[in-house]
Amino acid sequence: MGSSISCKRVLASTSNPQKLNNVIRMVHLNGHVTILDYPATVAEVSGDPAKYFLFTQAQLLSNISMPLKPDTALEAGKIYFVLPLSFFDSHVSPVDLAPITKRLASRAQKCTYKPRSKDWSVGSPKEAANGDGQVQAKKSSKSRSWRPILDTIREMSFNRGIETDML
């Protein structure tokens, strides 16, 4: 339902763009992938106070979902899942998260670097980083007009059908 998958490059080094083993990939629940330079800690990513929790795939699928501690150093080449604080108010079990986690992890692994657009991307919307590491959204030059495909609807009266059956 209306969700798109996209990747956002944040201060990722471009010296060897095809190698994603030297960066940290974080997947948000909506499918957005953020790519960070290595090294980084959970506290640097989640902010102070923590608005988000980080998990590995194994932690997310275990019965006792304990987020990573703020002083934990994130490993290069690994995929981490970012969940909001409000997520823990809902009663979601690891069984419910298994298909979502698998799909999000596969999207994060497909995240590639496109040298022409200087952007990490899986889908739209596309975002690129300028020299300061700030992220700017790119606007599409083509505007598509959307038109629904409609068929003619024929209506029949229920009364007419009943009268003809009675005669």
120: enclosing H helix or E strand = strand 119-121
Question: What whole-number distance in Å separates Cα of residue 43 and Cα of residue 139?
Answer: 32
* pLDDT tens-digit map of 91-116: 666 677 777 777 777 777 776 544 33
Give residue limits of the domains in the chain.
Answer: 7-139
* pLDDT tens-digit map of 48-94: 777 788 888 787 777 766 788 888 888 888 888 888 777 766 666 66
Q: Six-digit token pair at 122? A: 């899986």
Q: How far is CA 137 from CA 75, 87, 167, in A?
A: 28, 27, 69
pTM of full prediction above 0.85: no
* pLDDT tens-digit map of 3-52: 444 444 444 444 444 455 678 888 887 878 888 887 888 888 877 777 78
- Picking from 120, 94, 92, the residue whose alpha carbon sits closest to that of residue 25 is 120
